[in-house]
Amino acid sequence: MGKRILSVDDSTSIRQLVQFTLEKEGYEVVSAVDGRDAIQKAKGKHADMVITDLNMPNVDGIELIRSLRSDPDYRFTPIVMLTTESALEKKDAGKNAGATGWIVKPFKPEQLIAVVKRLIG
Residues forming contacts to another protein in the complex (CB under 8 A) are: 10-14, 16-17, 20, 53, 55-57, 75-79, 82, 84-88, 91, 95, 98-107, 109-112, 114-115, 117-121
Burial label for 75, CB within 10 Å (0-12, 13-18, 19+), is: exposed
Cα–Cα distances (Å) from 57 to 9, 30, 61, 66, in that order, read 10, 19, 9, 16
By C-beta, is 42 or 82 nearer to another protein? 82
Q: How far is the CB of 23 from another protein (least distance, A)?
A: 14
By C-beta, is 7 or 100 nearer to another protein? 100
For residue 63, the Cα-to-chain-centroid distance in whole angstroms is 13
Q: How far is the CB of 10 from another protein (least distance, A)?
A: 6
Cross-sheet strand order for the sheet of 28-32: 28-32, 4-8, 49-53, 79-84, 101-105
By C-beta, is 19 or 41 nearer to another protein? 19
Q: How far is the CB of 63 from another protein (least distance, A)?
A: 13
Q: How far is the CB of 50 from another protein (least distance, A)?
A: 9
Please report how many Cα atoms fall inside a 13 Å half-sphere around the Cα of residue 63, on the Cβ side.
12
